[in-house]
Structure 1
């Protein structure tokens, strides 16, 4: 009870003894015991709060350590991958056959001793080998670059930017018979000029206002002096039998023509060196029902239907 003696002034104990000489001492002992219990309870509560705080901080530290560990493992994996790629040996080249001096006589069948190589020829070979290794390393670089380009886009119809367009006007090409110049709305701020070759039986007066399908990511090129900025898709059974590919009812200029089995975004511009249109065009067909398709997958305007030929069947699209 020594610690409890400091909690109460001596005057309090003296006052209690005067008020109740018989039980004053017991009352004072009760006060001291109660005070000690209250202090111990407060200390215990403070230690419990401190322990909870430490547990929370410990949990946060564990999470931070796990995150740093994962980041360190990822960095080590990337460094090891870079080291393996940089240390990959270049493709070995076959060592060249020893060069026989011009003034050296060929060995005969009866000769028993081999002709020793001259110092000049050996030093020449030593000078050639490092240079040949350097050439081999130069040849190995395109191989590594081809690996990095392995994720190039696949060669399928998803690379074509096909859109619905409205023909605003048609006129004959001033410098080429059989070619027509159209002004076409394809959902952009300004119409595009398109030069195309239509059959002789096409009625030009019926074309303005009609909808058709246009390839819009071809490179702009001059057609006999007129710059064409898109390609008009036609169904063709022969040079004289040509029809425009017709989008479904309800289509509007600028609607994309897509293919269910070939998702993906089209190229910004088809590169002429890759000849993408020339490689894909043989697989663009009109089937026996008159539906335009690529390898059996229909030309579709989402939510509106399929593109068709007005009357032709089993023909090509060009």
Structure 2
């Protein structure tokens, strides 16, 4: 699909070709390329403004949470302070029946306070977001059908390491697999290696899919190189060394991964970005999930 076909009106193209039949096509290609670059620049600027706005809102929310947490901790400290006993010349002896009840209530209150403190601690340490994924740019060196499963393909991918990684994928309705050889892609590199029909897969290709099972690989921005990190402005944490299956991090994050109406890959409206080079996109699909 020619992405520049709708950038210039047909009347202008006809006029240029009429004025200069010999070089008219080269002039039109120049105008189309310039218009496409201008559109890409405008989209990138809009995305950066949205990300900065979200960053400010997140900072405000974090400040509000810290204030609420401080208020809750102050309240807990006040509750833990014991009230002074009432002054009495001859205090009445405590009933043998009421003493076990009071001890049980005291233990229950201590347990409630401990549970509240534990929940606050777990909330502070929880980080189930996209920053835990190790996403990198890779170059597909070769692609072939799986020897034991026609629905699967096997790729050798350079992700900037000493040796390429073997990746087993299910590309669905993707055609012309030979065209993928030499192209750049986005890979999830900290999944646990697993054997799929006898072939060990060491990473995951990030794809987007249409309802008719047509699949496209996410495309890194122009100028990307194997090994470049894909990061997220609003989620600056470091990725896990290896994602643990029992924590289900991929399942929690994947439901928020999608290609928006402009074709930009994002997590909760925050774009997949290769720093200094631009945003990752789908070649032609829009408004679809990423898997």
Normalised TM-score (structure 1): 0.55
Give the superposition deviation at 1:311: 0.7
Cα-to-partner distance string for 1:73-97 (whole Å, 9 max, x where unaligned): xxxxxxxxxxx9xx99xxxxxxxxx
3-state SS, counterpart of residue 254 of structure 2: helix
* Aligned residue among 165, 172, 187 for 1:214: 187
* Aligned residue among 303, 306, 312 for 2:285: 312
Residues 1:176 and 2:170 are matched in the alignment: no
- Larger Rg over CA atoms: 1
- Cα 1:153/1:204, change in 2 over 3 Å: same
Q: Is the 8 A contact 1:284 1:292 kept in 2?
A: yes
Distance (whole Å) between structure 2 residues aligned to residue 276 and residue 265 of structure 1: 14
Distance (whole Å) between structure 1 residues aligned to residue 278 and residue 118 of structure 2: 43
Cα-to-partner distance string for 1:1-54 (whole Å, 9 max, x where unaligned): xxxxxxxxxxxxxxxxxxxxxxxxxxxxxxxxxxxxxxxxxxxxxxxxxxxxxx
3-state SS, counterpart of residue 167 of structure 1: strand
Residues 1:283 and 2:283 are matched in the alignment: no
Distance (whole Å) between structure 1 residues aligned to residue 288 and residue 219 of structure 2: 14
* Aligned residue among 147, 155, 159 for 2:132: 159
Cα-to-partner distance string for 1:59-82 (whole Å, 9 max, x where unaligned): xxxxxxxxxxxxxxxxxxxxxxxx
Give the superposition deviation at 1:267: 1.1
Paired residue for 1:254? 227
Runs of 4+ in 1 over 2 A off after TM superposition: 137-153, 199-202
Give the superposition deviation at 1:144: 7.1
Paired residue for 2:46? none
Gaps of 5+ in 1: 1-83, 89-129
Give the superposition deviation at 1:148: 5.0
Cα-to-partner distance string for 1:250-304 (whole Å, 9 max, x where unaligned): 0000000111111111111111111111111121111111111111111110000
Residues 1:233 and 2:206 are matched in the alignment: yes
Give the superposition deviation at 1:141: 8.7
Give the superposition deviation at 1:152: 2.2
Paired residue for 2:62? none
Give the superposition deviation at 1:238: 2.7
Residues 1:292 and 2:265 are matched in the alignment: yes
3-state SS, counterpart of residue 151 of structure 1: helix
3-state SS, counterpart of residue 255 of structure 1: coil
Give the superposition deviation at 1:190: 1.1
Give the superposition deviation at 1:151: 3.4
Distance (whole Å) between structure 2 residues aligned to residue 295 and residue 185 of structure 1: 29
Residues 1:188 and 2:161 are matched in the alignment: yes
Residues 1:302 and 2:282 are matched in the alignment: no
Q: Is the 8 A contact 1:178 1:200 kept in 2?
A: no
Distance (whole Å) between structure 1 residues aligned to residue 275 and residue 234 of structure 2: 13
How many residue pairs were aligned? Answer: 201
Identify the range of structure 1 (301-310 vs 167-176) with the bigger mean alpha-carbon deviation: 167-176
Distance (whole Å) between structure 2 residues aligned to residue 179 and residue 208 of structure 1: 16
Gaps of 5+ in 2: 1-76, 82-102
Distance (whole Å) between structure 2 residues aligned to residue 180 and residue 304 of structure 1: 30
